[in-house]
Structure 1
Amino acid sequence: MKRRISAFKLLSTIAVAALMTACATSYQPVPPFSAVDLDAGGRALKTQNLLVILDASSSMEEGVQQWKKFDVATAVVRNLGQTLPENKGLQSGMRVFGGDPAVFKKSTQLIDDVGAFDRSDYEKALATVSGTGGPSPLPAALDAAAADMEGMKGKIALIIVTDGEKMGMAPAENARAIKEKFGDSVCIYPVQVGDAPDGKKLLDEITSVGGCGFGVSAQSLLGGQQMADFVAKIFLGDQLDADGDGVLDSRDKCPGTPAGVKVDADGCPLDSDGDGVADYKDKCPGTPAGVTVDADGCPLDSDGDGVADYKDRCPGTPAGVSVDAYGCPESVLDSGSSAWTFNEINFETAKAEIRPSSYGILDEIAAALVANPQLKVAVEGHTDNTGARAFNMDLSQKRAQSVVDYLAKKGVSPDRLKAKGYGPDRPIADNSTREGRAKNRRVQFVKIN
C-alpha cells in the first residue's frame, strides 16, 4: 500500500512539473513588425546621437500579457533599429546589463560600439543578447553610459528598455548624475516592459530627472506606425522646405526653385501659358497653345524677320528684308491685298515691247514674288478703247506675256505666273477722257490659288 502511495506521489509530482514547464513556455511570439520608412521624409536630424541600454536581467524572463518580457524588450530594440533613418549622420551605440552569464562576464557591456549608425551592425550586436540572467545592475549601466557618451557631439537620446523591477530608486541618482554632466545635450527616454508599479515609479522618476525626455510603454511600440512616431518625435525635426517655396521637400518635384518664384502644388514654377518655360524665365508670356518656343519662352522666328513662325505667312524671308505684320516683305505687292494695279509698266506704242523705264518697278515685283514663293498671280493686260477691239485684245495678251517672260528671267518660277489679256473690256475709268484712257492702259496682278 505504501508503495502505491509513493508511486502516486511520484506521478503527481511529475505531472505538476510538466504543467509548470508548459506554463513557462506558453508565451506567444511577439507580433511581426513592418517598419515605416522615415528616410524619405525630407526631415533633418534634431537629435544626432543614440545610446540604447537593454535590460537582459533574470526578471525579464517573466511574462507580460501573452509575451515574455525579454522578447518584448528585444523586439522593441530591433524595431527601433529597423525604423531609424540611415545615412543621415546619426551616431549610435548599444549597451546591455544582465544577460546570460555564459555570454556576458560583466554586469554591463557595450555590445555595439558608438559610431555611425549601421542597421546591419546594430542587428548583429542585438543578436548576441540571446538570453537573460543575473541581477539588474542598471546603476552600473548608467555610469558606463556616461563614459560611452563622452565623445558624442550634438543632442543625445538615452533610451532605456527595462521592466524597472527589483532595482529600488538608486538608478534615478545615476540618471541625475548624467543630466548634471551633459545638461540639455541629453534627453532620457525610459521604455517600460510590463506594468509593474515599482518599475513604473522608478522610470517615472528617471523621466523627471531627464527633463526633456518622456516615458513610454514597450508594448505600445510593437507596431510600425507607433515606432515611427516614437522615432520621429525624438530624432527628426520638422519636414524640410529647402528652397522655401512652401512645398515640403518630400513632395517637391522641382527642388531648388529660386526665392520668390511662385510655384504650383508640386513645388514647380508656374508656367501660365504652358509653353514649357516657367513664368519667371518667360520673356514672352501668353504664347498660344502648341506654339514652339525657344529657351526664353518666345515663339521661334526661323528667318529672323521679327515675325514669329506661327504668324509668318512668308517664311524664309532673306536676311535684312523689311517685312509687314504677316512676315512678308514690304513691297509693291502689299500682302494685305489680293490684286495690284500698275500704270507704271509701259510699252512701246502699239507694241508688246517693255520700255526700259519700267524695268525698276518690274524688278521690285520680281523681288516680292521671289520672297513670297507661295504666291501665284495672274498677270492681266488692259488697254483703252482706242483702235479695233481685236487688235487691243491681242495686244493686251502679248503685253501680259511680255511681263511674265520678264519676271521669269528674274527668277520667278513660270508655273506661278499666268498671262491673260482683256483688251478694253474691263475699264476702270472713263475712256472719253485722256486721263481715263491713261488709267485703263495698265497691267494688273491678281492673286490666284
Structure 2
Amino acid sequence: MLKKIIIPIASITGLALLSGCATEPTSYPNFTAAPVAQATSTAQFKQKTNTVFVVLDASSSTNVTYDGNDSGDSKFDVEKQTLYRLNKTIPANINLSTGIQSFGSGHCLDWSSTKVDQGVTRHSAKNFQAGLDQVQCASGGSPMNKAIAESSAELEKANGNIALLILSDGQQIPDGTLAEAQALEDKFGQRLCIYSIWVGNSYDTSGQVVLQELSNISNCGNSVNVADVTSSTGMAGFVEGLLYTKMAATSHVVTSRDSDGDGVDDAYDKCKNTPAGAVVNSQGCWSYNSVDFGFDSTKITPAFEPLFKNAVETLKKNPNMTVQLEGHTDSTGPEAYNMGLSERRAQAVKNHLVEQGIDASRLTTKGFGETNPIAPNDTAEGRAKNRRVGFSITAR
C-alpha cells in the first residue's frame, strides 16, 4: 500500500535539514554505449516507441548515499547518471521525441513541486542532456502523483506510442499515485507503456514494489533495478526493449525489383550483389554505420564487437568470397588526417576479422576518409551515418 506523506510542523531550520538540498553538480563517469537493435540473419527490429517521457524523482529521500556501489554518490546522482547512459545509448538516427519532468525539488525551494525540465520535443542527445542538467538538486516531498497527473499535458503533444519512464526510490509516495497512473493509461490507452527504474538502497525494497505496481498498470512496460542497467550491455538491452520490437528475420525474396534480396529496391540499391544475410544500409550496401572507435582511435571497443559478428557469419557462409574493407569518416578534422584515420580503421577491422578466423588473404583494405559521405555532415545524425566501415565484394 502506498503511504501518504505527512509534512511535519517544523522550524525553518528543521525543514532545511529534512529537505537535504544537494548542491554539488552530478559527475558523469566515462561510458561507451553498446549498439542496440542491430539486425542479424536471424533477428530484425521495428521501432515501437515514438516518445519517451521521463518522470524523475528529485525529492529529499534521493539525497541519501546510494549503497549499490562504492562511489559515494547519492541516489539522485545515480538517477541522473542512469539517464546520461540512456541518452548515450539511444541511436543517433532514430526518429524520436523526448521530455523530462522532475518532482520534489522546485530548485530546492518548495516542499512538493513538480516541473517540466524539457518539454516534449524532437530528440537530440544535446537537448536531452540540457534538460537533465536543469534538475540541479534533490529536496522536498515526493509528489509523484502530481508529476504523473501533470505529465498528461506534455503527453498530449506526443505523436505515436509513448513510453513513460519513471526513475525513483519509491519512498514516501502519496496515496493516489497508482490512480493517477491508471488515469493516464485510461486516457492514452494502448499508446502508453509505463517503464520504471528503481534506484533504491537495501532498506528501500518497499519502493521497488511501488514501481513494479506502476509498470504493471500498462501491461506493456517493465520495471528494473538500476544495477541491471549500469553496464553498457545492460543499458543497451533496456533501451532496445524500450524502443523496439524484436522479430525473427524473414528470408528476403528475390524479385525483379530486388535482385539480391536484401530488402532494398533495385531502383535505390547502389550495391546489387549483397550476399544473403549481410546487414545493409539504406543504400543497399553491406555496411556498418555509426561505428564509434573513440577519438583518434583504431581500437574496436567490446561494445561494438557484436556489429561484426554478422560479417564473420556472412564470410564463413561464403568461403570463396573476398572483400575490400572500406573505412569512412565524417568531416570533423583535417581532410588528410581523416584519410589516414580511415585507412587505419579499415585495417583494424581486418585484424579483428582475422582474429575471428577469417583468412587474411580474403581481405584487403582501403580508406576513403571523408570523401564519400552518405549523409550531410552538418548534423550529429549525419556524421554518425558517415562514420562507417563498408564491405565491398571483390570476388565470389
Tell me the TM-score range normalised by the shorter chain: 0.5 to 0.7
Counterpart AA for 1:214: N
The aligned length equals: 245
> How far apart are 1:191 and its partner, in Å?
0.9
Determine the C-alpha separation between the residues in 2 that align with 1:273 and 1:205. 54
Aligned partner of residue 210 in structure 1, secondary structure = coil
1:34 aligns with 2:36: no
Aligned position for 1:62: 64
TM-score by length of 1: 0.48
Aligned pair in 2 of structure 1 residues 154, 133: CA closer, same or farther (>3 Å)? same
- Residue 49 of structure 2 corresponds to which residue in structure 1? 47
* SS across alignment from 2:91: coil
Aligned to 2:102: 96
The one-character-per-residue Cα deviations of 1:123-167 (angstroms, maximum 9, x if unpaired) are 111112221111011011001111111122222111000111011
The reply to whether residue 202 of structure 1 matches residue 231 of structure 2 is no
Amino acid at match of 1:235: L
Q: Deviations over 1:364-412 (max 9, x none)?
A: xxxxxxxxxxxxxxxxxxxxxxxxxxxxxxxxxxxxxxxxxxxxxxxxx
Kept in 1, the 8 Å contact 2:165–2:195? The answer is: yes
1:83 aligned to 89, 109, 125, which one? Answer: 89
CA distance in 2, matches of 1:129, 1:54: 9
* 1:181 equivalent among 187, 192, 196: 187
Given the alignment of the two structures, is residue 231 of structure 1 paired with residue 232 of structure 2, yes or no? no
Cα separation, partners in 2 of 1:219 and 1:30, compared to 1, 3 Å: farther
1:236, distance to aligned residue in structure 2 (A): 2.2
Q: Separation in 1 of the partners of 2:209 and 2:245?
A: 30
Q: Does structure 1 conserve the Cα–Cα contact (< 8 Å) formed by 2:37 and 2:244?
A: no
Do the aligned residues in 2 keep the contact of 1:69 with 1:194 (CA within 8 Å)? Answer: yes
Identity within the alignment, %:
26
C-alpha offsets along residues 254-313 of structure 1, whole Å, 9 cap, x if unaligned? 549xxxxxxx9649x999999xxxxxxxxxxxxxxxxxxxxxxxxxxxxxxxxxxxxxxx
**1:47-78 superposed Cα distances (whole Å, 9 cap, x missing partner):** 11100111111111112214411111111111
| TM-aligned CA deviation for residue 210 of structure 1 | 1.9
Q: What is the CA–CA distance in structure 2 between the aligned matches of 1:235 and 1:86, rounded to whole Å?
A: 13
Say if 2:163 is the partner of 1:154.
Answer: no
* 8 Å CA contact 1:159, 1:189 repeated in 2: yes
Any conservation in 2 of the 1:59–1:165 contact (CA below 8 Å)? yes
Q: Which residue of structure 1 aligns with residue 220 of structure 2? A: 212
> Would the aligned equivalents of 1:33 and 1:79 in 2 still touch at CA under 8 Å?
no
2:131 matches 1:125:
yes
Which residue of structure 2 lines up, in the alignment, with residue 170 of structure 1? 176
Separation (CA, whole Å) in 2 of partners of 1:131 and 1:153:
31
Unaligned runs of 5+ in 1: 1-23, 257-263, 275-449
* Letter paired with 1:232: E
What amino acid does structure 1 have at the position aligned with 2:168?
A: T
For 1:140 and 1:265, locate their aligned partners in 2 and report how far apart those are by CA, in whole Å.
52
- Structure-2 change in CA distance of 1:98 and 1:255 (3 Å): same
Structure 1 residues 105 and 135: alpha-carbon distance in aligned structure 2, compared to 1, 3 A threshold: closer
Please give the root-mean-square deviation of Cα atoms over the aligned residues, in Å: 3.9
In structure 2, do the counterparts of structure 1 residues 60 and 253 end up closer, same or farther at CA, with 3 Å as the change threshold?
Answer: same
1:201 is displaced (CA, Å) by 2.5
Q: What SS does the aligned partner of 1:213 have?
A: coil
Distance in 2 (alpha carbons) for counterparts of 1:227 and 1:179: 26
**CA 1:140 to 1:63, structure 2 compared with 1: closer, same or farther past 3 Å?**
same
1:221 corresponds, among 191, 215, 229, to 229
- TM-aligned CA deviation for residue 169 of structure 1: 4.3
1:405-446 CA deviation, whole Å, 9 max, x = no partner? xxxxxxxxxxxxxxxxxxxxxxxxxxxxxxxxxxxxxxxxxx
Distance in 2 separating the partners of 1:183 and 1:168 = 24
Give the superposition deviation at 1:101. 3.4
Q: Give the Cα separation in 2 of the matches to 1:180 and 1:194.
A: 29
Quick one: distance in 1 between partners of 2:171 and 2:60?
A: 10
Give the TM-score of the pair, scaled to structure 2: 0.54
1:15-414 matched pairs, under 5 angstroms: 32-38=29-35, 41=38, 43-65=45-67, 66=70, 67-99=73-105, 101-102=107-108, 107-195=113-201, 196-238=204-246, 243-244=262-263, 247=277, 249=279, 255=285, 266=314
The one-letter amino acid of 1:55's match is: D
- Hey, what's the Cα distance between the residues in 1 that align with 2:28 and 2:228? 12
Q: Is residue 59–residue 142 contact of structure 2 (8 Å, CA) maintained in 1?
A: yes
CA distance in 2, matches of 1:273, 1:211: 48
Question: Could you tell me how far 1:44 is from its partner in structure 2?
Answer: 4.1
